[in-house]
Chains A and B, each alone.
Chain A
Amino acid sequence: MLKVGTLAPNFSLFAKPDHKINLTDYKEKRVVLVFYPADWSPVCGDQVTLYNEVLPFFQKHNAEIIGISVDGKWCHQAFSQERNLHFPLLADFEPKGEVARMYKVYDEIEGTALRTLYVIDEFGIIRWNYLSPADSNPGADGILTALEELDNSTCILPQASN
């Protein structure tokens, strides 16, 4: 995992078959970055489904959420439609896992991203991170607590963010 306090590396990945998203598109917003192994986990209470319901709570803290897995954009599109998701899923597909590697959460054996959460502040600095144990859905409490702490902390502008 990348350490708290480091600048979150930028990336540009497909969110829809014809549309890419950059991390830098989220200026003046906080970003909850969710790396997860794969679409189509077999339970209805899975991680992305839960976060889809928690969106209004994240937005109260000026945060948007982005999911990233190594699945391709067409797979994401089908999964998103099936789960009625209201946040983007990015395809870390070509080169496979490149962004997961940049964020030091790539599982070389499985060939997927490790289930990891990052909270990035308005200045692009990682302010909280969490690596979830295998097969365990980390829920939303840690993210909400991190966002509340950001609300209460005085912002320190990064010295060299460019």
Chain B
Amino acid sequence: MSLKPLVSDMDHIQGEANAIIELVEYGDYQCPYCGMAYPVIKNIQKKFGKELKFVFRNFPLSKIHPHAKLAALAAEAADKQERFWAMHDIIFENQKNLSNSSLIAYANELGLDIFQFKTDMEDETLVKKIESDFESGLRSGVNGTPSFFVNGEKYNEYWDENNLGNFISKKILSTAW
């Protein structure tokens, strides 16, 4: 399965725009497996440096994770103040505390304008963005969280640091030569 739509400037992208490797995660902030993947991705990013850019798309499974959508909204709202990744990180580092008041506390910790943040949390366009991420995941063959895509193709192996790292190394070699 391949990624639909492709990564664009509508996405949250970390790293060099012209990196050889594009790693996309469809994730759910309340999913414990996504929580386990969080440090794995940090290490992968460190390992591959400017060779890799990382993209995060929302795939909240709201029926089993009642705080997932709210947390996704918090990250999107933080994006309005250019702090998407800071909020993304703080949420994954505090996955067990994702109530509305906790999310506001994190926004405070990040020094966000709280009034603006609360207003943006209610913004329908952000809700739509999360839904459209979810739908794009469905159409791309996402079947659970986390799901990863490397250079547009679904990665189906286990995503521990070794497996994913080796896969990416091979991809770099085959692309570079």
Partners in one complex: yes
Given known pairs A57-B135, A86-B63, A141-B139, the reply for A44 and B1 (CB within 8 Å) is no
Nearest-neighbor residue (CB-CB) of A86 within chain B: B63
Alpha-carbon distance A143/B134, docked complex (angstroms) = 16
A54 at the B interface (CB under 8 A):
yes
Shortest C-beta distance, B66 to chain A (Å), equals 9
A143 to chain B minimum Cβ distance, whole angstroms, is 9
> How far is it, in angstroms, between the C-alpha of A45 and the C-alpha of B59 when the chains are bound?
10
| Range for the number of chain A residues in contact with chain B | 20 to 34
Partner of B138, one of A47, A85, A144: A144
Contact A144 B31, CB 8 Å, known A49-B64, A53-B61: no
CA distance A52 to B143 in the complex (A): 12
Q: Is B32 an interface residue (CB 8 A)?
A: yes
The answer, among A43, A53, A137, A139, for a CB contact under 8 Å with B33, is A43
- Is A88 among interface residues, defined by CB-CB distance under 8 A? no
- Chain A nearest CB from B3 CB (Å) reads 12
Across the A-B interface, how many residue pairs have beta carbons closer than 8 Å?
58
**A52 CA to B61 CA, complexed, in Å:** 9
Known contacts A44-B33, A141-B1; A52/B142 CB under 8 A: no
Query: A54 to B138, Cβ gap below 8 A?
Result: yes
Cα-based distance from A46 to B144 in the complex (angstroms): 6
Contact A84 B63 (CB under 8 A): yes
- Whether B135 contacts A53 by the Cβ 8 Å rule is no
On chain A, the residues within 8 Å of B140 by CB distance are: 141
Chain A residues in the interface with B (C-beta under 8 A): 43-47, 49-50, 52-54, 57, 83-86, 137-141, 144
Top-10 shortest CB links A-B = A45-B144, A139-B143, A137-B143, A45-B145, A84-B63, A139-B141, A140-B138, A52-B63, A141-B141, A141-B139
